[in-house]
Amino acid sequence: MDVDQSVSQFVAAFGRPPAGAVRAPGRVNLIGEHTDYNDGFVLPVAIERQAVALHASRSDARVMFRSRQADEPAEVALDDEIVPGEPAWANYPKGVVAGLREAGAPLVGCDVLFDSDVPVGAGLSSSAALEVAAAEALLAAAGARREIADDELVRICQRAEHAFAAAPCGIMDQSIAVMARAGHALLLDCRSGETRYVPFDLHAAGLALLVADTQVAHAIAGGAYAERRSQCAAAASILGVASLRDVTDRQLADAAADGVLDGVALMRARHVVGEIARTLHAVEAVTLRDWALVGELMYASHESLRDDYEVSCPELDAIVEIAEGCEGVHGARMTGGGFGGCAIILADAARADAVGERIASGFAERLGRRCPIFMTGAAGGAGPVTV
């Protein structure tokens, strides 16, 4: 991303240079899919793709939003009611304005220009990156960043996505965008909000993390995602627990044997219970640098998401199958909510280029087009950018 070009566009749009800039990263999830809204554990990593927000305060009570990825600007009056509307892209930052105002943040009018190289619809949390970048910019313009704690900022951005974009996401995406630490994954307990940084220095380990984009649009605002949430809630209710986080392997086996839980409800519960266990096991494996075991858990996660949770697609399955046959690959799985988006591949760094080429060409052989692939390290979380 060329920040200098963004500065030039800010000047062209607003007639003055920005006073500052902030960034927020996208993410991949190493393991722990569809566990966040079940009060489970997730293990995301911030990627080296990011949203940047350039900002400068104004003398009035208006917030002007522009994006280098969208033609239509948007405006919010801080002293008026804030509601979703058009253009659709601006509902994410508008929701953040509404949430910060409700939290009592001393906002001021400002001009904000966004730029992002996080692919939209790829399951890499482009929306969370936009929300967190917006929050950081609004608070920086007001000189009020320290007045909102990180965990509160996460919740504000999550509520913005729920209320203004009708996307019922958990807290993982916003949490990693705000709290990520370079060279680490983040173990997040989605019930308590407790976090633990897990060393994940790919360079030191001689590893590479590849992200392969199916270019099949992923949208958690769609009905299939909400349906999975309701199916999990129904399974938890049948089992008499607050959430599937509270179900043990024994309880699940007994419920299946007794016919208390069957069909789709059993499949969804089996994935969530198993995925929570796999995530905690993966933390131990990463800590021990047991990359073969990490890979086994990644493959098992993908199989469960494909078969029990039914959120994969032929394109994601193709990437994982091709990767599994490549020398130097430890593991692969879909990442994000599914129904498209991206898969990740953990491979030896020395073989990364060859693995990427084999996956892209194999994908083209099966599906008639190459899939874009990029390499990423574990990046840091939101913060200022020098302009």
Q: Which helix (H) or strand (E) holds 250?
A: helix 249-257
Residue-wise pLDDT tens digits, 8-51: 999 999 999 999 999 999 999 999 999 999 999 999 999 999 99
Give the pLDDT score at 225: 83
Strand order of the sheet with strand 373-376?
A: 329-335, 342-348, 207-213, 373-376
Tell me what the mean pLDDT of segment 216-223 comes to. 69
pLDDT-wise least confident of 59-68, 113-122, 164-173, 356-365: 164-173
Please answer whether residues 327 and 25 qualify as being in contact, where contact means their C-beta atoms are separated by less than 8 angstroms: no
Give the pLDDT score at 3: 87
Is-above-0.85 flag for pTM?
A: yes
Tell me what the mean pLDDT of segment 375-380 comes to. 96
Q: What is the rounded distance in angstroms from the CA atom of residue 305 to the CA atom of residue 372?
A: 22
Give the pLDDT score at 219: 62
**Going from the N-terminus, what domains does the chain have, and what CATH number goes with each?**
3-197+380-385 (3.30.230.10), 202-376 (3.30.70.890)
Residue-wise pLDDT tens digits, 94-135: 999 999 999 999 999 999 999 999 998 888 999 999 999 999
Give the pLDDT score at 220: 59
Query: Mean pLDDT score of the chain, rounded to an integer?
Result: 95
Ordered DSSP codes for 52-104: EEEEEE-SSSEEEEEETT-S--EEEETTS-----SSGGGHHHHHHHHHHHHTT
- For the cut 90, the answer to whether the pLDDT of residue 316 exceeds it is yes
Tell me what the mean pLDDT of segment 286-308 comes to. 98
Tell me what the mean pLDDT of segment 211-223 comes to. 79
Q: What is the rounded distance in angstroms from the CA atom of residue 78 to the CA atom of residue 59?
A: 12
pLDDT-wise least confident of 119-123, 236-240, 301-305: 119-123
Residue-wise pLDDT tens digits, 124-178: 999 999 999 999 999 999 998 888 999 999 999 999 999 998 887 888 999 999 9
Q: What is the rounded distance in angstroms from the CA atom of residue 170 to the CA atom of residue 175?
A: 10
pLDDT-wise least confident of 102-116, 141-155, 198-212, 339-353: 141-155
Catalytic residue, chosen from 36, 173, 213, 308, is 173
Q: Is 36 a catalytic residue?
A: no
- For the cut 70, the answer to whether the pLDDT of residue 312 exceeds it is yes
- For the cut 90, the answer to whether the pLDDT of residue 373 exceeds it is yes
The amino acid present at 241, given as its one-letter code, is: V
